[in-house]
Amino acid sequence: MTTTQTIDYTPGAGLLSTEPMTSGQLLLTSETNRYAPEDLGEGQMILNMGPQHPSTHGVLRLEVITDGEIIVDVVPHMGYLHRCFEKHAQSLPFNQTIPFVDRLDYLAAMNAEHVFVMGVEKMLGIQHDIPKRIEYIRVLVAELNRITSHFVAIGTYAIDIGAYTPFLYYMRDREHIQRMLEWVSGARMLYNYIWIGGLFYDLPVGFEERCRELVTYLDPKLTELEQLVSENQIFVKRTANVGVLPLDVAINYGCTGPVLRGSGLRYDLRRVDAYSVYPELDFDIPIGTGQVGTVGDSWDRNHVRIRECRESLKIISQCLDQLTGIHRRTRDFDPHAMLPKKIRPKAMDIYVRGESAKGELGFFFRADGKSDIPVRCKCRACSFHNLSVIQSISRGAMIADLVAILGSIDIVMGEVDR
């Protein structure tokens, strides 16, 4: 249900008008609020944050019920960026859907491509036939993209809290990784690099050496950035014991990724499902420990992302060892060798999931066995589930803390709305 109001932007005119529209007026259509004025208690008011508020990280509107500076309730309103991903996926062949998958979490497109492609390969029964070099390249680019996603999350979170310098440092170092991914795929954000059965192209000559130099550069920088953000006393006071998410609440809401691990559960699909070549790699799963506050607070969620960047560097180094060792490039290697000529899986229902930068990203497919277009393609978006918990952990907090809580969840609206 929508309500329609007219906004008169003529100089000197009132803000809201119920008169018929004339020249010099705009039409505003907005979703109905959950709360009506008669639902409010004494001293309470409705405060709308967004959908153009910079701290909502996209076109998200938060309907905030306040009692002075204290939050009584928060209702997230979505749908401003609805992109019809699932309708697109049910209208196109599997391989032509990959560019739309990129636009879900556009900050971690490689991770989304990896999960989607694994699902289709499993439907075709070729998941065990993919050459190891291709699998190591997939993990390599996915982990590089995981770091860039976390850098945006941590850097913009610092801006939300009030620190501008860390954002510039994180964007500086993120740019180095972006250039590497652009060298691989030709694109900076929306890659279309991981294909069903293979890759768009093999790694460019010299990529492995340049990537090792990047790892060597980033390792000390992560220590510097951790000191700049996590150990900053102002940042600690703004995030410690703020937005505490108990583990049972996180599980009940379906939270995954750093949001869940920040509450103390060592749950990572790279370990749990052991997909691709992750079982052959050595890395740790960081969790929140309540180091400066309470387990599951905003500081813990942010710190988990910082530590995950270091673990991703370990994974990248191991992938480079394999790609320059036993699975090094050869003249007869063809990244297109396993590309199926016809993508027409048998009739089945299947759900495939993987660990994206923000949590469990999953795809449910229903195929009828007659077409290369799925009957149903449902996306399980981690940002959507993680955002749903904001109502529970924001009650009783102050309005200023709501920005800190939302930033610690790290959402991308392209994935929330789909």
Q: In the predicted model, is pLDDT for residue 387 greater than 50?
A: yes
Residues of the chain with pLDDT > 90, as a percent, come to: 71
Cis previous bond, 93, omega within 30: no
Alpha helices (H) along 162-240 = 165-185, 207-229, 233-239
What is the distance between the alpha carbons of residues 251 and 161, in angstroms, rounded to a whole number?
27
**Amino acid 331: pLDDT:** 85
* Neighbouring C-alpha atoms within 13 Å toward the C-beta of 65: 19
What is the distance between the alpha carbons of residues 259 and 358, in angstroms, rounded to a whole number?
8
Phi, psi dihedral angles at 17 (to 5 degrees): -140, 145
What is the distance between the alpha carbons of residues 243 and 394, in angstroms, rounded to a whole number?
6
Q: Which is more confident, 281 or 29?
A: 281
pLDDT (tens digit, 9 = 90+) per residue, 313-359? 999 999 999 999 999 988 888 888 888 888 999 999 999 999 999 99
Q: Using an 8 Å Cβ cutoff, are 242 and 298 in contact?
A: yes
**Amino acid 95: pLDDT:** 92
73 forms beta bridges with 65
112 contacts: CB under 8 Å, gap ≥ 6: 101, 102, 104, 105, 356, 361
Within 10 angstroms of residue 215's Cβ, the number of other Cβ atoms is 15
**Amino acid 74: pLDDT:** 93
Q: In the predicted model, is pLDDT for residue 76 greater than 50?
A: yes
Q: In the predicted model, is pLDDT for residue 8 greater than 50?
A: no
What is the distance between the alpha carbons of residues 46 and 29, in angstroms, rounded to a whole number?
18
**Amino acid 31: pLDDT:** 63
Q: In the predicted model, is pLDDT for residue 205 greater than 50?
A: yes
What is the distance between the alpha carbons of residues 254 and 388, in angstroms, rounded to a whole number?
9
What is the distance between the alpha carbons of residues 174 and 112, in angstroms, rounded to a whole number?
19
**Amino acid 3: pLDDT:** 41
Q: Is the CA virtual torsion 139, 141, 147, 149 positive or negative?
A: negative
Here the tokens at position 361 are 């990203």
Q: Is 81 exposed, middle or buried (0-12, 13-18, 19+ CB in 10 A)?
A: middle
Mean pLDDT of the 28-54 span: 77
Residues of the chain with pLDDT > 70, as a percent, come to: 93
**Amino acid 360: pLDDT:** 95
**Amino acid 79: pLDDT:** 86
Structural domains in the chain, sorted by start: 1-32 (no CATH), 85-417 (1.10.645.10)
List the single range of 5-19, 104-118, 173-187, 317-331 with lowest mean pLDDT. Answer: 5-19
The mean predicted confidence, pLDDT, of the chain is: 88
Count the helix, strand and coil residues of the chain and give each as a percent rounded to the nearest 5: 45, 15, 40
Q: In the predicted model, is pLDDT for residue 123 greater than 50?
A: yes
Residue type for 217, please? Y
Q: In the predicted model, is pLDDT for residue 5 greater than 60?
A: no
Phi, psi dihedral angles at 136 (to 5 degrees): -70, -35
pLDDT (tens digit, 9 = 90+) per residue, 250-299? 999 999 999 999 999 999 999 999 999 999 999 999 999 989 989 999 99
Q: Using an 8 Å Cβ cutoff, are 111 and 357 in contact?
A: yes
